[in-house]
Amino acid sequence: MAAPAGFTLGELAAALGATLEGDPRRVVRGVAPLASAGPDDISFLIDPRYRDAALASRAGAFLTPPNAADLPAPALRCAAPQQALIQLLNLFHPEAPAKPGIDPAAVVSADAHVDGSACVGALTVVEAGARIGAGVRLYPLVYVGPGVEIGDGCIIYPHVTLRDGVRLGRRVIVHPGAVLGADGFGYAFHEGAHRKIPQVGGVRVEDDVEIGANTTIDRATFGDTVVGRGTKIDNLVQLGHNVEVGEHCIIVSQVGVSGSSRLGRGVVLAGQVGVADHVTIGDGAVIGGRSGIAADVAPGEKLLGTPARPILQAKRIMLAEGKLPELLQRVRALERRLQALEGGAAEADDAGA
Amino acid sequence: MAAPAGFTLGELAAALGATLEGDPRRVVRGVAPLASAGPDDISFLIDPRYRDAALASRAGAFLTPPNAADLPAPALRCAAPQQALIQLLNLFHPEAPAKPGIDPAAVVSADAHVDGSACVGALTVVEAGARIGAGVRLYPLVYVGPGVEIGDGCIIYPHVTLRDGVRLGRRVIVHPGAVLGADGFGYAFHEGAHRKIPQVGGVRVEDDVEIGANTTIDRATFGDTVVGRGTKIDNLVQLGHNVEVGEHCIIVSQVGVSGSSRLGRGVVLAGQVGVADHVTIGDGAVIGGRSGIAADVAPGEKLLGTPARPILQAKRIMLAEGKLPELLQRVRALERRLQALEGGAAEADDAGA
Amino acid sequence: MAAPAGFTLGELAAALGATLEGDPRRVVRGVAPLASAGPDDISFLIDPRYRDAALASRAGAFLTPPNAADLPAPALRCAAPQQALIQLLNLFHPEAPAKPGIDPAAVVSADAHVDGSACVGALTVVEAGARIGAGVRLYPLVYVGPGVEIGDGCIIYPHVTLRDGVRLGRRVIVHPGAVLGADGFGYAFHEGAHRKIPQVGGVRVEDDVEIGANTTIDRATFGDTVVGRGTKIDNLVQLGHNVEVGEHCIIVSQVGVSGSSRLGRGVVLAGQVGVADHVTIGDGAVIGGRSGIAADVAPGEKLLGTPARPILQAKRIMLAEGKLPELLQRVRALERRLQALEGGAAEADDAGA
């Protein structure tokens, strides 16, 4: 992502709707974190805990919240500095422009519909009946199966597989190697062998979803596996057949969600979490890293561990586990002491009799 | 998968060997679950627990076991209704026919043998010495390495890599992005660096195996990594070098099996299980989700947890863990009470002396 | 990997710098483990525990340490037999020679630089500005993004994706399906949705690194995600944005390392380990399989479990957990006995009063 020649602070203040404290003609040529920024870079101080690093920074300018105190270089003050940083990064690192059109080395079925503003990369295959929307970017070496629908503005990276029955909304990003629409894992044991249950459903991905590299989302047995609007999925995640993920969820790397489970809206599954099949996780629930979810989770719950428990309880148990070997010894000591005492008490009984 | 125009119930009864209760001329055009089926669909009631859903269903017909009671529409009664459902799905969703032959955009070595009835998709590479059997379907963008053997009737989805030394039996299905025959992970530390041990073995996959999307099965150091007949492997599974998996096993998503471990016949590993290296898991063992297997498992055992324990014991331990913080307090209380008592007992001793 | 016609033991002794005990004209045609070796094979006895297997072996010759006692066939004695085995395997299984040059079915940008000694496979895409070093082997169906740098002697297997901003040192091996340089997983929640933080950094991989099949290494938000010299990474591993891995580490299959965490030199992460974000793991630390690392780890520590604890302590806790249900009963019994005694002691007090 090549950066342009640079911007004046005045230009940036106008673009970001920021209040500039300093010389509007000063030019910056890049964005960098506090520690590595040089005099030609603009840096950012969003979290006040990093104030000392900002004071020590060599940055030529800073992006800050309205109330950040004196800084060693001009400041662009913004009400929402993290959003301004996103804008700033997009200004300095614009998406490399992709020339609309179908690369001569692509293999596109005559029965596919590709919008004139879409870009189909070299050695990408688009099968019959597929529909590619406006402004879509298919990188090289993508496989788009028969009848697949790709909404406007999607970006599909190399080596992605979209099998038949997959439909993507608008502005969906699918990272390299992801597989959407592979058969769900369904068999019935009969006469000594596992018989494959045909998986005749599809996968529906709503607008503004992002799907990580080498992630796999299986087609439904019937109906659709669904990923709701605005949900972000990291790398190497597995979503089984008929899983339904609500809107604006966060699913971190290496999570697995088994068949027919449902996530509500705004659910967070941290890394390596496993969810059993046919489980419902309520809106806004947050599941800590490496937890195992085997039963329904109420909305808003914050769970951790296997089995998953409320996070404070889980941490108390983990602490207590650390004392378990010592606890065994203490109980053994109690038993001995009590036995001695019971002998003594018997004597005392005798004495008192 | 486009469905044909429909079938009469009479046709379906004949095809499935079912007893029809109702009008044989009635036409159904699709298969759907009880809740979503409409009057043009045939649905199915296999598990009697769903009887209420069946009574409420709008389905035009039902597939049922012989003894299912009155239903609101015609019934096809079958001795093995789940197998009949599989047949039914295959009737309504026949595999899209693939035209035999080599796509002009495929890159097939002159030294490869491709059966005339096989189908090689666009942009698929078949290297020298590879042998592709009858009726094989290679989707686009597959890599078939030198000397690879693919038995009759296999289906290989896009972006699969089969490196040299891989041999597939008949009717093997390999889902998108799976990698068979990558080097095993073997090094010897020598003079300050990890030295690669050449991995000169292969991978042998027997008949009727299914391998999930983005799953990785490494070649053996010597000899073969083996997947036995009828075994089904889900997505994102890792099988290390020289692993041997028996026949008719089920390996669910994100399982990892380390080098040289062996699974017997009919073993089930649920999702995210990890198996250490050089472990043997006996025939018919069942390992619960997210368990860690570090030692041999006897045939037929049902284990859960890390370390894995018999499932009932594991569940008892998980329950007991929930009481652990309280247990610590109870033991502390016991110690205090006992100390008090020991003081009292000493006095009583004195008194009794 | 086709083996050549064979070698005499004299030739092998010279090549390995070994002392030969036996007929130098004897020919061997392959390398095999003790159990499967035949009279035409050379086998190896490196670990003295396998001595009985060596005595029973039908091998035509053995590779052994200097002090191995009488064997049933000629012996090549080496000071470093494991390294000699690596040499031996490379002699019998030389890397299949790749013809230098660009396959006519490759798609290479006119603005890319490909060394004349490099080999670019069919249907591989090399984008503008990429630099491919001497002796590099790009297998078919690889994607090399704009400006990617690939050092001398690298091997890149099929279906690998190297996005822009990726730079590989020399002799790096990337196994099939691996994805380097996908966007890191970074969002800021604003006005009801997760807003993507542009990921403008890259990935730097140093010399002699090996990266497993379907592994994913994300680009940095700023700067670089780094994998240090000589580090070996297994299949299906996830390294998040801005992770820094030191030199000569071992990262086993299905490990996940979250954003901005750092591994020192010579760290070992066994299979399925998870590392939280912003954690530092010191030089030489060893983390047992399936452990969860949520806090910094000191150099040289050997940890196990979730939360991770020193390995002996972790094993003691696991043992103690097995006794937890029984412990609960013992504490209940203690409480009853103590209560009884307290009643008795009260009586004794009365008696003594």
Pairs from B287-294 (Cβ < 8 Å, separation ≥ 24): B288/B314, B289/A258, B289/A274, B289/A276, B289/A292, B289/A294, B289/B252, B290/A274, B290/A292, B290/A306, B292/C272, B292/C289, B292/C290, B294/C289
Report whether C247 contacts C230 (CB < 8 A).
yes
Rg (CA), chain C: 29
Comparing alpha-carbon positions, the chain C residue that sits nearest to B214 is C214
Mutate to test the interface with B, among C272, C273, C336 (most CBs of B within 10 A): C272
* Residue C3 forms contact with A (CB below 8 Å): no
Burial pattern B291-301, b for ≥16 Cβ within 10 A else e, equals: bbbbeebeeeb
Joined tokens for residue A29: 């040529």
Enter the DSSP assignment of A297. B
What per-residue confidence (pLDDT) applies to A2?
44
**A residues 188..207 contacting C (CB < 8 A):** none
Buried b / exposed e along C102-138 (16+ C-beta atoms within 10 A): bbebbbbbeebebeeebbbbbbbbbbebbbbbebbbb
| pLDDT at C1 (0 to 100) | 42
Alpha-carbon gap, residue B294 to B277, rounded angstroms: 8
Which chain C residue has the Cα nearest residue B123? Answer: C123
What is the Cβ-side half-sphere exposure of residue B41, based on CA atoms within 13 angstroms?
17
pLDDT the model gives residue A349: 57
* In chain C, % of residues over pLDDT 90: 90
CA–CA gap between residue A40 and residue A27 (Å, rounded): 7
How far apart, in whole angstroms, are the C-alpha atoms of residue B222 and residue C142? 28
Residue B277: helix, strand or coil by DSSP?
coil
- Nearest CB to C325 within list B146, B320, B344: B320
Q: Which two tokens mark B309?
A: 């324990």
Q: Which residues of C touch B146 (CB under 8 A)?
A: 96
Determine contact: A238 vs chain B, CB below 8 A: yes
Identify whether the C-beta of residue B199 lies closer than 8 Å to the C-beta of residue B162.
no
Contact with chain A for residue C336, Cβ under 8 A: no
The gap between the terminal CA atoms of chain A, to the nearest Å, is 94
C103 CB near a chain A CB, below 8 Å? no
* pLDDT 10s digits, A86-126: 999 999 999 878 889 999 999 999 999 999 999 999 999 99
- What is the reported pLDDT for C164? 97
* pTM, entire model: 0.96
Strands B143-144 and A119-120: unpaired
What length is written for chain A?
A: 353
CB proximity A159 to C under 8 Å: yes
- A61-75 tens-digit pLDDT: 999 999 887 899 999
* From C306, C320, C348, residue closest to A348, measured CB to CB: C348
Pick the closest to residue C179 from B106, A211, B210 (CA basis).
A211
Mean per-residue pLDDT of chain C: 94
Which residues in chain A touch residue C240, judged by CB atoms under 8 angstroms apart? 253
**Per-residue buried b or exposed e for A298-310, using 16+ beta carbons within 10 Å of the residue's own CB:** eeebbbbbbbbbe
A259 CB-side CA count, 13 A: 19
pLDDT in tens, chain B (353 residues): 444 679 999 999 999 999 999 999 999 999 999 999 999 999 999 988 999 999 999 999 999 999 887 899 999 999 999 999 999 999 999 987 888 999 999 999 999 999 999 999 999 999 999 999 999 999 999 999 999 999 999 999 999 999 999 999 999 999 999 999 999 999 999 999 999 999 999 999 999 999 999 999 999 999 999 999 999 999 999 999 999 999 999 999 999 999 999 999 999 999 999 999 999 999 999 999 999 999 999 999 999 999 999 999 999 999 999 999 999 999 999 999 999 888 866 665 555 44
CA distance A326 to A330: 6
Span between the terminal Cα atoms of chain B, in Å: 95
**Which of helix, strand or coil describes residue A114?**
strand
**Are the beta carbons of A230 and C193 separated by less than 8 Å?**
yes
Residues in chain A within 8 Å Cβ distance of B327: 320, 327
Mean of pLDDT values over A142-156 = 98
Confidence of residue C351 (pLDDT cuts 50, 70, 90): low
> In 3D, which of C218, C249, C259, C252 has the Cα closest to residue C237?
C252
Nearest to B335 among A187, A334, A345 (CB): A334
- Per the CB < 8 Å rule, is C159 touching B182? no
Residue whose entry in the numeric block shows the structure tokens 């007991």: B320
CB contact under 8 A, C192 and A158: no
If contacts are CB pairs under 8 Å, which of residues 38-57 in chain C contact chain B? Answer: none
Neighbours of B (≥3 Cβ pairs closer than 8 A)?
A: A, C
User: Which pLDDT score, from 0 to 100, does residue A290 have?
Assistant: 97
For B65, half-sphere exposure in the C-beta direction (CA atoms, 13 angstrom radius) is 11
DSSP string, C2-20: ---S-EEHHHHHHHHTPEE
> What are all long-range contacts of B97-101, with beta carbons under 8 Å and residues at least 24 apart?
B98/B137
Q: What are phi and psi of C195, to 5 degrees?
A: -95, 130
What is the predicted pLDDT for the residue at C69?
A: 76
Q: How many CB atoms lie within 10 A of CB A211?
A: 28
The answer to whether the Cβ–Cβ distance between A89 and C198 falls below 8 Å is yes
- pLDDT score of C95 more than 90: no
Give the closest residue to C177 by CA, choosing from A169, A130, B276, B174: B174
H or E element in which residue A328 lies: helix A324-352
* SS3 labels along B183-236: CCCCEEEECCEEEECCCCCEEEECCCCEECCCCEEECCCCCEEEECCCCEECCC
Q: How far apart are CA B314 and CA A331, in angstroms?
A: 22
Contact A226, A260 (CB under 8 A): no
CA distance A60 to chain C (A): 17
CB of A333 within 8 Å of a chain C CB? The answer is no
> Residue C91 phi/psi, 5° resolution?
-65, -45
d(CA C10, CA C306) in angstroms, rounded, equals: 54
* Identity of the residue numbered B253: S
* Alpha-carbon torsion angle C71, C73, C77, C81, nearest 10: -80
Which has the closest alpha carbon to B84: B46, B55, B51? B46
Tell me if B163 sits within 8 A of C176, measured CB to CB: yes
Does residue C145 have a pLDDT over 70?
Answer: yes
> Looking at the complex, does the CB of residue B327 fall below 8 Å from at least one CB of chain A?
yes
Q: Are A145 and A130 in contact (CB under 8 A)?
A: yes
Number of alpha carbons in the 13 Å side-chain half-sphere of residue B132: 35
pLDDT at C5 over 90: no
Cβ distance of A232 and C187 shorter than 8 Å: yes
Catalytic residue among A190, A241, A248, A278: A241
Q: How far apart are alpha carbons B146 and B125 in whole angstroms?
A: 10
Q: Three-state DSSP class for C327? A: helix
CA dihedral for A264, A225, A160, B86, sign (positive or negative):
positive
Confidence (pLDDT) at B351: 55
| Helix segments in chain C, DSSP class H | 9-16, 51-56, 81-92, 311-322, 324-352
Cβ proximity of A257 and A236 under 8 Å: no
- Write out residues 105-144 of C within 8 Å (CB-CB) of A: 107, 123, 125, 141, 143
- Cα B146 to Cα B117, B130, B166, B189, C64: the distances in Å are 21, 6, 9, 31, 33
Q: What is the pLDDT of residue A63?
A: 96
H-state helical runs in chain B: 9-16, 51-56, 81-92, 311-322, 324-352
Q: Give B346's contacts (C-beta < 8 A, 6+ positions apart).
A: none
* Active site (annotated) includes residue C159: no
Tell me the chain C residues in contact with residue B238 when contact means C-beta distances shorter than 8 Å.
Answer: 234-236, 253-254
Give the C-alpha separation, A294 to A299, whole Å: 16
Question: What is residue B115's DSSP assignment?
Answer: -
pLDDT over threshold 70, residue A345: no
Rg (CA), chain A: 29
CA atoms A28, A32, A37, A42: torsion sign:
positive
Confidence of residue C349 (pLDDT cuts 50, 70, 90): low
Q: Can you name the residues that pair with C292 across neighbouring β-strands?
A: C274
